[in-house]
Structure 1
Amino acid sequence: MTTPQPIRTIVDVIASPGFGGFFFDDQAAIKAGARRDGAAYHGTTLTPGYNAVREPAESVSIQLVLDDGYVATGDCASVQYSGVGGREPRFHAAELAEAIETRLGPLLHGLEVASFRTAAEKTEAAINSIEGLGRAAAYGVSQALLDAAAHTAGHHLMARVIKDEWDLPGDLAAVPVYGQTGEDRYDNVDKMILKQVPVIPHGLINTPDLVGPNGRALTTYVTWIKDRVREITPDHSYLPVMHLDVYGMVGLEAGGTIFGTADILQRLEMAAAPHQLRIEHPIHAANRDEQICMMSALRSELRSRGSRVQLIADEWANTADDVHRFATAGATDLIQIKTPDLGSIHHTVDAILDCHAHGVGPILGGTCAETDRSARTTTHIGIATGVTQMLAKPGMGFDEGLMIVTNEMNRALRLDAYRKAAGEQPQ
């Protein structure tokens, strides 16, 4: 006989401003030539909401006080390049924290939290009724709701809540982690190789000079990575996937043409061999539908040439509906699911499962600009849904994000195995 879950409700909502793991950057200004000066940028802002080209990333910590005294937590966050590619503008933490406490909090008093999905949907509706909150608020509060549901279930394993509520088959399982170098594109690659990260290096290829005429600079970089892997692991026991995020710069160098972009990608593929090559956002369009058309044409052209380069959709894939449209159009091999962009994390789960259903690889991404708490929570989504790869986040120092995500994954898997060995059944 199954023991009924206790009824737990929210009695208070507390919010406090904090930092994110990196910066908010005005991508349009950087692409337009803002001058880099150490960690800073000099130039005129182009994206609404920015007072400088680079500003410290912010977050808002959410604490849901339950009627039994337990405090469930989550963090509101937004991506590094907020305000472009169809994304919401960057938020300001002090203002968002006050709005959550004074305007959203009263609407959540008395909300039952045993069912994560039900609570998340009701909370999202409340957030949508309040002007100025948006997806960052939904992202943080939904993390806390998942924490509350795991507490109410008695096992406090958020991944198990997802497995149970979506009725997902199979056991919780580890997934490949991928690292991002940030602007330290060489030393951080060495760290990744030494730690044998399955997917490297991201690379932050966000300016034309990093691609170079006909892709020569990027080809040189890819060749260096391949050679460095061989130098540091001479027994060839380690063969990571190469994943490069190029922010549309390859297409820009190719004059926006499909054929020219395919030419550069094939040269990169030859340089990377025998590593599998994945290219994120190879070409940029002005809106979602044009992006899908361009990615579809590029993917078709590559396949007609016999290329095995895998394309990753990123820009304009900001909602579960966007992800669905990319997946069903055959426009891409994988989709970067940037968790803050989707708002409430139940949409992230749905988007991942939609990718699986249509034979597209889901990448559980996010951003360097979020927090340790949001990274740990979304790690549970990754191991519950079996994503193709999962971002080591937050920050651009690499080591810290790898530690946070990997350790949380291993803790959850070990605890799940321990409880099964002890004869405990997930509730």
Structure 2
Amino acid sequence: MMKLLVILWFIASGALAVELSPQEKEIVEKSEQYALISKLYGQGIIDSSLRVYVEDEDTSYRIWNDTRKIGASYLIEPKCEFILSDKTRPCRSNRTEVFLNKSGDIEVLSIKSEKILDLEFINKFKDLKSLMITLDRDVSPLKVVDISSLNELIYLELNLIESDKVVLPNPSKLKSISSETLIAHRLNNLYNQVNLEYFAVNGTVSNLHEMTQSKNLQVLVAPSYEVPHANFHLSSFPHLKYLRLKPEKEFYSLPFSELNDLKALHVRSYDATQVDLPSSLEYLEIEGLENKKMPNLSALRQLKTLKVVYTNIDEIGDLRSNTNLRTLEVSSSHVSKIPNLSFLENLYQLDLAGNNISVVENLNDLKGIKDIVLINNPIEKFELSDIDNLKFVSILHNYTHPTDPDFRYKVRNLKRFGSFERPKR
């Protein structure tokens, strides 16, 4: 029978919620590293319940590359998980958790606190593989977050942290750096992250251009980073698969076509005349297209997902070369007519919400289509026959109504019509 070695430490009683075996209890009591965490908990600095896992034959953890779905494509997304017998549970950054090995050393640490936290003690955890820190929004900025001695660290997650600088390990085994909100003027030792595969930081980082040795990087997401063109070189990331940076003028002058492995690109305030897109793209999201016409995407023959939102375009354009498209979204724009899209034989999702479409036409030959979204259009005429695979149609919030109110009853496999609920993937 699995022994779930979870300790819940309560300030009021100071007692364990789960009785441990003598051997397990001895590991916890002798652990100097755990004593540091327990002390912070006793002082009220760590204010979430403290949960501790102890390594045994049924209890362990793993840091691995899961797959993240973006459109119809897949990218790596590193994750930390606890393995509890035949079950797994994600390491969670929204509470305080500790994983002790048999020697009493901490290998996984997650800290959640609403108070100012001196993080200097963390450098004593030499065997630490996964570190997650989440502070409260009202916590004062930290002068420095120094984790330079954590040379075994693989997974790092910093949330709601503001600091003058974050000092990364050197040398480093880091494969993943992520953050929901990180405001740091500098990430020291960023140049030496040779094993980094995943970097996704929503916040402010000023020296991303120093990340020159991360040749294995596959995901680079830093939507607030302003690219200094002279210093930022995409050639530093030959295996990059997903890119999203702040869409300043310098960003669009980057040589994207050099990224032969790039699968997904998100751009905003896009000027189609400036960007040379790589033919390897499978996912392209354009927000705020400056041109009135759809850009020429004929070279993107591998494209599976195209999203064009909040633009001035008035027609969908020529997509005859993009026959691998599975998802097409042109929303919140000025499109007035649905063109013949019968050549898109693989298309299963079409989203034309928020346009000027009055006649629903040219969709009957889309034999593989499953979902059609036409929310917020002035629809007056609804020409759509019984398509075998069609499951979902939404025409909510239209200025007028379709001429055929019984449409929903004529499509054999239709499951939802006019629903607020979007289809689940």
Which band: TM-score by shorter chain?
A: under 0.3
TM-score (norm 1): 0.23
> Is the radius of gyration larger for structure 1 or structure 2?
2
- Structure with the bigger percentage of helix: 1
Q: Which has the higher contact order (CA 8 A, sep 6+)?
A: 1
